[in-house]
């Protein structure tokens, strides 16, 4: 049952974004043909073509709070508005009078923490996963007593002080880093900035995971420094790795490769275009006691795969975990061709009876499209495959059922015949 909203008297008015009886908050209104039921049933976004955008709405500061009404002027939610974004409004609270202050943030973060504390014995996880944790556009990864905050929406940037205060109060972390980089911030009209907000971070942080130790550069590394989302897929790959020769392509700081060595792999070759990332992978291997079995190769992944193919190299377990080739719908066709190419180049390198793991973190490429592209690539590579397992992000990356985009990660585990 959809919870009812409190009745708040409304002054008579005919324009959107006018001052209102909602404690003086501006009002924005859905167009008559917009689907109000989706908001009532939990969908968290309003797109630009669904909202009345008159002069007053256009003049709202990016990240401003407003009350969203349906076309019949019935209140739906408290939202944050950014007219510079295609996602023009994001739902913050079903109560139009909710106060977005430190206490409000503490309640949301506390709920998120309760889930992670139940799932993981050590404090290394994604603490807040944006809309799925009722904090739209906010990502927080925790590395022990350090947290990395990504305020990827204008409202979060505007309320960052209260957000960080709540984070420290709820979790007790000593160090907080703001990672203000990435495509999402650009879409919100936000500038890029990475800085230390609280405490001190003097070196890469050691992160125990799946029997290995990873090194995360939370200041200068990619994204927040480590990809927690692949944790269960690392573990499944490790279950296939006993005695295996492993090739980890797009290895970053050694995610799949170090887990495979913890699972008993004979050797790992890690390939990545980033020398700093491979240096961290090597440090992780040393700390984990795997130095003698772990080697790296810097270079373009496609070029390395092609070169290994000319050498007739063979591996018992091969993993390709590339960046998002299809981050949006316009890039989908080219992205699927890139995934197919990865599969085509990788398949011949897998020894008969070996395993090929292909991953996608592209929002725009759904599971079926990605699986079909991989199947075509494996076939074009001259191999026949069994699909053993389909993996997704770990439970510290929960999905919002109404928002398909929150389920972005796919990992396909194939066994290849001779």
Q: What is the pLDDT of residues 5-22, one digit of tens each?
A: 433 333 333 445 555 678
pLDDT on residue 19: 53
Q: Say whether both 108 and 256 belong to one domain.
A: no
Beta strands in 14-97, from DSSP E residues, in sequence order: 27-29, 45-47, 64-69, 75-81, 87-93
Residue 373's H or E segment, with its range, is helix 367-380
Rounded to 5 degrees, φ, ψ at 391 are -110, 160
Q: What confidence tier does 23 reach under pLDDT thresholds 50, 70, 90?
A: confident
Q: How far apart are the first and last CA of the chain?
A: 54
| Structure-token pair, residue 383 | 């191999």
DSSP string, 339-367: HHHHHHHHGGGEEEEEEEEEEE--SSS-H
* Residue 1 belongs to some domain of the structure: no
Q: Please check whether residue 79 is in contact with residue 66, taking contact to mean a CB–CB distance below 8 angstroms.
A: yes
Tell me which of 198, 225, 254 is where a domain ends. 198
Q: What is the mean pLDDT of residues 132-158?
A: 97
Are 152 and 140 in contact by the 8 Å Cβ rule? The answer is no
- Note whether 391 and 257 are same-domain residues: yes
pLDDT score for 35: 87
If asked whether residues 309 and 164 sit together in one domain, one would say no
Under 8 Å CB-to-CB from 326, ≥6 apart: which residues? 332, 334, 335, 336, 338, 339, 360, 362, 363, 364, 365
4 secondary structure, DSSP code: P
Mean pLDDT of the chain: 93
pLDDT given at position 17: 58
Residue 75 lies in a domain: yes
Map 18-36 to HEC letters: CCCCCCCCCEEEECCCCCH
pLDDT tens track for 82-98: 999 999 999 999 999 99
∠171-141-293 over CA atoms, to 5°? 120
Co-location of 70 and 179 in the same domain: no
Together in a domain, 171 and 274: no
The pLDDT of residue 187: 87
Same structural domain for residues 82 and 116?
A: no
At which of 93, 110, 133 does a domain end?
93
Q: Which residues constitute the domain of residue 62?
A: 27-93
**Among candidate residues 160, 178, 198, the one where a domain is terminated:** 198
Mean pLDDT of 143-160: 97
Of 410, 404, 405, 339, the closest CA to residue 376 belongs to 339
| pTM greater than 0.85 (yes/no) | yes
Angle at which helix 255-262 crosses helix 231-239, to 10 degrees, equals: 40
- Cβ atoms < 10 Å from Cβ of 206: 16
Nearest 5 degrees, angle CA 61-CA 66-CA 67?
165
């Amino acid at each position: 049952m959809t919870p009812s909203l409190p009745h708040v008297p409304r002054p008579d008015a005919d324009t959107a974004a006018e001052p209102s009886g909602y404690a003086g908050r501006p009002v924005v209104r859905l167009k008559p043909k917009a689907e109000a039921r989706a908001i009532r049933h939990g969908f968290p976004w309003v797109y630009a073509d669904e909202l009345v955008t008159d002069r007053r709405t256009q003049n709202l500061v990016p990240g401003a709070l407003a009350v969203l009404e349906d076309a019949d002027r019935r209140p739906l939610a408290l939202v944050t508005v950014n007219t510079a974004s295609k996602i023009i409004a994001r739902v913050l609270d079903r109560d139009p009078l909710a106060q977005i202050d430190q206490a409000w943030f503490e309640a949301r973060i506390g709920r998120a923490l309760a889930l992670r504390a139940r799932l993981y014995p050590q404090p290394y996880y994604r603490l807040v996963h944006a809309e799925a944790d009722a904090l739209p556009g906010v990502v927080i990864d925790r590395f022990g007593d350090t947290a990395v905050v990504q305020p990827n929406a204008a409202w979060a940037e505007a309320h960052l002080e209260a957000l960080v205060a709540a984070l420290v109060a709820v979790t007790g972390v000593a160090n907080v880093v703001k990672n203000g980089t990435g495509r999402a911030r650009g879409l919100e009209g936000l500038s890029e900035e990475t800085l230390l907000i609280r405490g001190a971070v003097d070196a890469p942080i050691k992160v125990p995971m799946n029997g290995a130790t990873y090194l995360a550069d939370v200041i200068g590394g990619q994204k927040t420094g480590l990809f927690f989302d692949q944790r269960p897929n690392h573990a499944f790959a490790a279950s296939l790795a006993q005695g295996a020769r492993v090739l980890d392509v797009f290895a970053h700081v050694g995610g799949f490769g170090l887990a495979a060595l913890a699972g008993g792999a004979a050797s790992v070759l890690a390939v990545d275009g980033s020398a700093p990332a491979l240096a961290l992978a090597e440090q992780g291997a040393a700390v984990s006691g795997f130095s003698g079995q772990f080697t790296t190769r810097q270079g373009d992944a496609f070029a390395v795969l092609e070169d290994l193919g000319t050498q007739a190299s063979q591996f018992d377990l091969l993993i390709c975990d590339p960046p998002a080739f299809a981050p949006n719908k316009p890039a989908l066709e080219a992205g699927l061709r890139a995934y197919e190419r990865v599969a085509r180049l990788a398949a011949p390198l897998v020894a008969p009876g070996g395993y090929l793991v292909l991953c996608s973190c592209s929002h725009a490429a759904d599971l079926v499209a990605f699986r079909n592209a991989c199947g075509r690539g494996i076939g074009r590579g001259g191999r026949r495959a069994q699909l053993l397992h389909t993996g997704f992000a770990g439970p510290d990356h929960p999905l919002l059922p109404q928002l398909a985009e929150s389920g972005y990660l796919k990992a396909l585990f194939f066994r290849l015949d001779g």
